[in-house]
Amino acid sequence: MACEPEIIGDRRELFVDDALIARQDGVALVLQRPVPREVAVVHDAPWEGNTCCYHTVFQDGRLYRMYYRGSHFDEERGVADHPEVVCYAESRDGIHWEKPDLGLVGFKGSRHNNIVWDGYGSHNFAAFRDQNPDCRPGEEYKALAGSGREGLRALVSPDGVHWRLLQEAPVITHGAFDSQNLAFWDANRGCYAEYHRHFREVDGRRVRDIMTSTSADFRTWTDPEWLEYPGAPVEHLYTNAIVAYPRAPHVYLGFPKRYVPERTVVEHRAEGVSDGLFMSSRDGRVFRRWGEAFIRPGLQPERWVNRNNMTAWGIVSTPAFLDHAPDELSIYSTEHYYRGPASKLRRWTVRPDGFVAAHAPLAGGELLTKPLVFAGAHLELNFSTSAAGSVQVELLDAGGTPGEGRSLADCPAMYGDSLAQRVRWRDGDDVSAWAGRAVRLRFVLRDADLFAYRFTR
């Protein structure tokens, strides 16, 4: 039975799942790993400390904004050193960060600090810029915050700095909220989507897991549902860091912190170890979750202490680390949690779209897509080869017959490294004659990584 073609238009398609793949021969989907860069922020202010976490990072016009919990745990006394507060930092490039003196909230008799909130929900405040075209004036920035049994309350702000409760009553009450619980405007579904932590009973085990619900107005939410991860093992998921991927908003990416309570590497009062995972979805509820770690603890002993390796919520574009290279993506991850006087947030970089690669060795491999209906005149690839590697593309009709002039024999081998290399055949690069019709793409790879493809107008 022939499958209905997938209408992709001119959207970018990533290889984070096999949703559009019909066949693979010698090609495997391989999880990539980010590259550690500099420490972005050291939480060494008196109102911060060694348990600062639950970071949120997003780009807002030319400004990068960051929100996080300011807190400190006294290891000798075994107690929190000061009340939890919500801190704010900003940057012009996502690399160099400043903590502005806001003068808003008092701490030990002074308002000279970068604190924006010290009320309900200071434990896990998660803010975002509302992209809803019908957003109410004065509510351009929103947040969810709260823990314990009361639930999550909604906060709003006109400028991202001055915050107020939207209402006194919690908006979400079914969950165990001692985590980073987040929400955002989902343009793909035309509603707000939220993701929060709860405990789930699975085969007699009480496991940390993720629930989701939606809202039309950020005030009234649907009953939460559990996320699903077909084929993935039962594991503790402490945070979720789910986003609609900015370069392909129909794809949802998540970066949960996996918690393994029964393992210990560095002796500490808080047992367990953690790492950062990667998962993706096309509907926001059913995710492909990779078992291999996206961010490993690595050689730093302090990253092997419980509650480290939390991936911050947010993916931003930043200037390239290498000379003459295009902008790259930055994510951030915690380290030094519980260790010493200050926790830290390190920046990690990812190639745009480079979370998973369709990879073939030098011996070669092929990948065939399911039937697609595209819009546009050209096909662009995000790929990387070795000096000896190559990529070729064949455009076929739904039945498997190569388009005239668009066969594999008509496509000179491409090699190099590009985020948007236009595919050319011997008589040119125009594929507009096939637009609006069901087609398949056959990729032939040799020592190559293919990250994404897109038809452009």
Is residue 2 predicted with pLDDT exceeding 70? no
pLDDT digits (tens, 9 = 90+) for 265-318: 988 888 999 999 999 999 999 999 999 999 999 999 999 999 999 999 999 999
Structure-block tokens of residue 83: 């009340």
Local confidence band at 10 (pLDDT 50, 70, 90 cut-offs): very high
Mean pLDDT throughout 108-135?
Answer: 97
pTM, entire model: 0.97
Helix (H, G, I), strand (E, B) or coil at 229: coil
The whole-angstrom separation of Cα 377 and Cα 431 is: 5
Local confidence band at 216 (pLDDT 50, 70, 90 cut-offs): very high
Is residue 384 predicted with pLDDT exceeding 70? yes
**Comparing 363 with 150, which gets the higher pLDDT?**
363
The whole-angstrom separation of Cα 423 and Cα 413 is: 10
Mean pLDDT throughout 76-104?
Answer: 96
The whole-angstrom separation of Cα 159 and Cα 128 is: 11
Mean pLDDT throughout 9-28?
Answer: 98
- Set out the domains of the chain in order of their start, with CATH numbers: 6-32+356-456 (2.60.120.260), 35-350 (2.115.10.20)
Taking phi over 0 as left and psi of -120 to 50 as alpha, with beta for the rest, 311 belongs to beta
Which pLDDT score is estimated for 1? 42
Is residue 374 predicted with pLDDT exceeding 80? yes
Instruction: Work out the percent of the chain whose per-residue pLDDT is above 90.
Output: 95
Is residue 3 predicted with pLDDT exceeding 90? no
Mean pLDDT throughout 200-223?
Answer: 97
Residue type, 206: R
Instruction: Work out the percent of the chain whose per-residue pLDDT is above 70.
Output: 100
Residue in 286, 225, 223 with CA at minimum distance from that of residue 251: 286
Mean pLDDT throughout 98-108?
Answer: 98
pLDDT digits (tens, 9 = 90+) for 416-429: 999 999 999 999 99
Average pLDDT, the chain: 97
Q: Are strands 13-14 and 225-226 parallel, antiparallel or unpaired?
A: unpaired
Local confidence band at 120 (pLDDT 50, 70, 90 cut-offs): very high
Helix (H, G, I), strand (E, B) or coil at 105: coil
Is residue 184 predicted with pLDDT exceeding 90? yes
